[in-house]
Structure 1
Amino acid sequence: MNNLCVAHRGFSAKAPENTRAAFKMAMDVPYVNWLEIDVQLTRDGVPVVIHDFSVDRTTTGKGKVKDLTWQEIRAMDAGIWKGKEFQGEQVPSLDEVLQLVKGRLKLNIELKTSGEMYPGLEEKVLDRIRAHNMLPEVVLTSFEPKALLRAKELEPRVNVGLIIDAHPRDLLSRLKKMGCTFLSIGYSHLDAAFASELHRNGITPMAWTVDDRRSMAALARMHPEIMICTNRPDTWGQLFLNLIAPRIPFWRKWKGWFR
């Protein structure tokens, strides 16, 4: 149970995903070590934190992120769909999220792209990370290998990781060729032997997206280096509380949060 907890798009089970409300709620959980966020570019080149390629599902607006300006997206409500108490939440810029979490949590920043959808995405994201002096505190991940290769070319010091929902036989060799030190993998494709092999080769695995206690416990038993990416950090915390915290003298200070 030494596994690190990653809040998927923030505390997205309770708050609107990829918003300041979700991030702040996750930051209040003692067991959250990382945030996982998604970054795209507006039409005028501003890196914004949103998952879908369109704004339709999570905002009051319509259209594709790449076709809208920052001001147009900023005017949309990104919280009301989750509940009236979140009315007025906005799509944040990457700058705002970096400023919010600096020194408190680390960031898994997914470069949300496909092919050549966002020319310059890697450069703009790296520029903002460097502006906040947060290079050691982030990992850039993507389903798109070309985005990871471009990021490493632009900034050899940055940690990168492939996102994949499969386990092809050549996966480890592919990760090495891309210079990955991180692997974001659908949790059903991970086992103890592969987790150990990744660890021996300097690659940290993150299992996504895990919301039930049984799966969390099974992954924790596989290997202590497996990071648990979840919409429900409270579920992970409850598991920790029940199994580990009774042996820790200061556990009571956290107990009330999970009720």
Structure 2
Amino acid sequence: MPIQCVAHRGCSGAAPENTMAAIELALSDSNVTWIEVDVQLSRDGIPFLIHDYTLNRTTNGRGPVKDYTWEQLLALDAGSWKSKRYAGERLISLDDCLEAIQGRLKANIELKTHGNKYPGLEDKVIEVIKKHRMEHEVVLTSFDLRSLSKVKENARSLRTGLIIDQLPKDLFLRLQMLQCSFLSINYKRLTAELAAKAARRGLDVMAWTVDQVKVMRRLAGLHPDLLICTNRPELWPSAFKAPNLVNGRNR
């Protein structure tokens, strides 16, 4: 089946997002072929997984992510907010993440930055990717155009992708100028025409974030080669192995 399942921040519906627990669940699910994770930098320059710019929502820490050293971040509880079952779950480095998935899953690594928030973020992430020899197993995505440009300046062979929530009129021109081969798009903005146009240009398209079976099926009908990002990969069999679906399309 060509439609591919991307586990959003790992299997974040069941486990705390961007943690090893969520990644391990993704690794154990045969339907998952990709994970999507968010990367920022510690104060001492360690790339690690977290979505928000503050620690408040997903850890027992407080304040901006960038104010903490990696040693301080490792001491935080990143699981109790989800459930007692995950009390004591820790934040993880990008290094640990890639070591866990190498040869098993591909990774959509979102560079969480804007402006000059994290000088050197791109180089640090590229260094970790090269360490694990995963240049052909990852795509670096971002809302930030400068960040994507920096990746191409420093590692031309790495794939990059633009993330969009709204549809700019010059979308494909932007993608071309940024040398992107990947488009990460809010599923509500995706149409069959857009998906086909992207495919003709050799672009992979990932729709985010979809947690309803009906919506998964509708999206699958737009184009056979989509990636669908979900917090709940456990819904995949219900969406795509039902009798009324063939190769991700309605009969």
Per the normalisation by structure 2, the TM-score is 0.96
- Residue 5 of structure 1 aligns with which residue? 5
- Residue 63 of structure 2 aligns with which residue? 63
* 1:4-153 superposed matches below 5 A: 4-153=4-153
SS of 1:136 mapped into structure 2? coil
Cα pair 2:2 2:226 within 8 Å, conserved: no
* Cα displacement (A) at 1:225: 1.4
**CA RMSD in angstroms, aligned pairs only:** 1.4
* Cα displacement (A) at 1:151: 0.3
Tell me the distance in 2 between the aligned counterparts of 1:118 and 1:149: 15
Tell me the distance in 1 between the aligned counterparts of 2:246 and 2:186: 31
Deviations 1:4-25 (A, max 9, x none): 0000001101100000000101
Deviations 1:9-56 (A, max 9, x none): 011011000000001011111110000000000000000100000111
Greater helix content: 1
- Identical residues among aligned pairs (%): 50
* Cα displacement (A) at 1:243: 3.6
- Residue 235 of structure 1 aligns with which residue? 235
Tell me the distance in 2 between the aligned counterparts of 1:235 and 1:185: 20
Unaligned runs of 5+ in 1: 248-259
Per the normalisation by structure 1, the TM-score is 0.93
* Cα displacement (A) at 1:241: 2.6
- Is 1:168 the equivalent of 2:168? yes
Counting matched residue pairs gives 247
- Residue 224 of structure 1 aligns with which residue? 224
- Is 1:195 the equivalent of 2:198? no
Deviations 1:64-100 (A, max 9, x none): 1111000111000100111111111100000000000
- Residue 253 of structure 1 aligns with which residue? none
* Letter aligned with residue 110 of structure 2: E
Cα pair 2:214 2:239 within 8 Å, conserved: no
* Cα displacement (A) at 1:244: 7.5
